[in-house]
Each structure stands twice: as structure tokens, then as C-alpha cells.
């Protein structure tokens, strides 16, 4: 019996085999979960390609978290296929280039609004889709990069992650009476497609392994996948509104 035996999970954010969400999806299947993936627009073909590399190829449904009609449409599709949902992984994030890389003061509200909508409000949109189908309770887990400090070059994406963290806490408050847990996994830097788009990402890469008490490998996301799967399982029944650091202990050290 795996940790997720019999669980039905919705996984967002699988773009390639290097995506953090792909690692979570793969381990979830190995632990007994049944999956549906979501993607959007032109990248759906990439998601389908990555899905074919999983142990069991899941269906890919379209979900644009910035489209007000999509949460309801996704909910209807999930209800038709499954009737219930047990868990969901939020791995959605985007910011226009001007929002990253040291141009913090140049970004306009139009730029910042995109980052906040896609990277933070999308968690609420995903909850709108899945929470009504969590009739027996459930778990929503969001991937995060700790926004309690100002990181070099992360700029408005850091602000968006701070909004994501606050959104998770409020969702935990309002969904808790339904037995739905909402938690974050604050991962250390991992070399993904998204990470490569961040100017100055090598700054994190250079210092993280030296400062993290347990060490850190930017090419190894296994620990992140295990943390997400554990939170999606029944092994944290009374944990919600939490940010679980999976960063080798970096967050606990001084500069």
C-alpha cells in the first residue's frame, strides 16, 4: 500500500520532465495515486509529451487560472470523470521579464498585476475548482520559494510568492471546516525551465550548497517531491496553513 493508494489528485505545472511538478506526479503515481494533469494554451503539447513519460500516462485537461470561467469548467470535468477529488498540487507561476532581474523599479502595475494573478490568485482559482469536490476533505499543496526575505533578482516574483503564502493561509482558514488542508512547500533552488528564466539564478546556485547545513543539489528534486507527496497523503491530518521548508536548512542560517 502506497501513501496515496486510492487518492485522486490534480497536478498543475507539468511542463517538462525537469519540472518540479513532474517529480511530484511521478512519485504520486508510484505511491498509488490516480492523476489528472492540467495545462494551458500552447504549452499543452509540452505537458502531454511529459505526461507520456510518467509510469501511467494521465489525461491532460485545460485550465487557465486567469480565466474566470475555467475553475467552474475544470470542476465539471473532474466531477464527470471522478466525482470527487482528494488532493491538488499548485505549481503555477509567471512574471513578465521586467519583473525579474534587478529591474524592480521599472515594472508597471500592468506587469506586476500579471505576476500576482498568475502566481498567487491562481491558488484561489484552483481551490475554486477542486474544493467543492473534496467531499471527504482533502489536501492542496503549493510550491513556493520562501518570500520572507528579499532575494537578489527575484524582485516582483518574490512579492507574488509573498501573496501566494498569504493566500494559502487564508484558504487554510476558510477551507479548514471542510476538512481541507492547504500547505506550502518552500523549495530550495532547483534547475528547472522556470528557474533558468530568472536572471541571476546562478547566484543562488553558487551559495546554497555552501550555506545549507544538510547540503543542496540544484539538480536533485527528490526531497521536494517526497515532501509534497507526504502533505498530499493522510500523514499530516492536522497540519494546515504551514510552510514546509525543503531547502537543506538554508532558511535557518544567517548570511
Contact between 180 and 137 (Cβ < 8 Å): yes
Q: How far apart are CA 193 and CA 198, in angstroms?
A: 9
Q: How far apart are CA 6 and CA 251, in angstroms?
A: 35
Q: How far apart are CA 124 and CA 62, in angstroms?
A: 17
- Is residue 124 annotated as a catalytic residue, yes or no? no
Point out the catalytic residue in the list 124, 161, 219, 226: 161
The candidate with the shortest Cα–Cα distance to 30, out of 237, 224, 226, is 226
Beta strands 180-187 and 87-90 are: unpaired
- Is residue 154 annotated as a catalytic residue, yes or no? yes
Point out the catalytic residue in the list 26, 121, 124, 154: 154
Burial zone of 167 (CB within 10 Å; 0-12 exposed, 13-18 middle, 19+ buried): buried
Which residues are identified as catalytic? 154, 161
Amino acid at each position: 500500500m502506497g501513501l496515496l493508494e486510492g487518492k485522486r489528485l490534480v497536478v498543475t505545472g507539468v511542463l517538462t520532465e525537469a519540472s518540479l511538478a513532474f517529480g511530484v506526479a511521478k512519485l504520486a503515481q508510484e505511491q498509488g495515486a490516480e492523476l489528472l494533469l492540467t495545462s494551458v494554451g500552447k504549452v499543452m503539447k509540452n505537458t502531454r509529451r511529459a505526461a507520456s513519460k510518467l509510469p501511467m500516462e494521465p489525461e491532460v485537461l485545460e485550465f487557465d487560472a486567469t480565466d474566470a470561467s475555467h475553475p467552474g469548467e475544470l470542476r465539471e470535468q473532474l466531477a464527470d470523470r471522478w466525482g470527487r477529488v482528494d488532493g491538488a498540487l499548485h505549481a503555477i507561476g509567471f512574471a513578465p521579464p521586467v519583473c525579474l532581474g534587478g529591474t524592480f523599479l521599472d515594472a508597471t502595475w500592468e506587469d506586476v498585476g500579471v505576476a500576482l494573478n498568475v502566481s498567487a490568485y491562481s491558488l484561489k482559482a484552483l481551490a475554486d475548482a477542486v474544493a467543492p469536490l473534496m467531499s471527504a476533505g482533502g489536501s492542496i499543496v503549493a510550491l513556493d520559494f520562501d518570500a520572507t526575505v528579499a532575494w537578489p533578482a527575484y524582485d516582483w516574483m518574490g512579492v507574488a510568492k509573498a501573496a501566494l503564502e498569504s493566500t494559502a493561509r487564508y484558504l487554510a482558514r476558510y477551507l479548514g471546516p471542510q476538512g481541507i488542508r492547504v500547505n506550502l512547500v518552500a523549495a530550495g533552488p532547483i534547475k528547472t525551465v522556470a528557474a533558468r528564466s530568472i536572471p541571476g539564478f546562478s547566484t543562488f546556485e553558487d551559495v546554497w550548497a555552501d550555506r545549507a547545513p544538510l547540503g543542496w543539489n540544484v539538480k536533485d528534486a527528490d526531497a521536494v517531491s517526497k515532501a509534497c507527496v507526504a502533505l498530499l497523503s493522510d500523514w499530516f491530518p492536522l497540519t494546515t496553513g504551514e510552510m514546509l521548508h525543503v531547502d537543506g536548512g538554508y532558511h535557518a542560517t544567517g548570511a
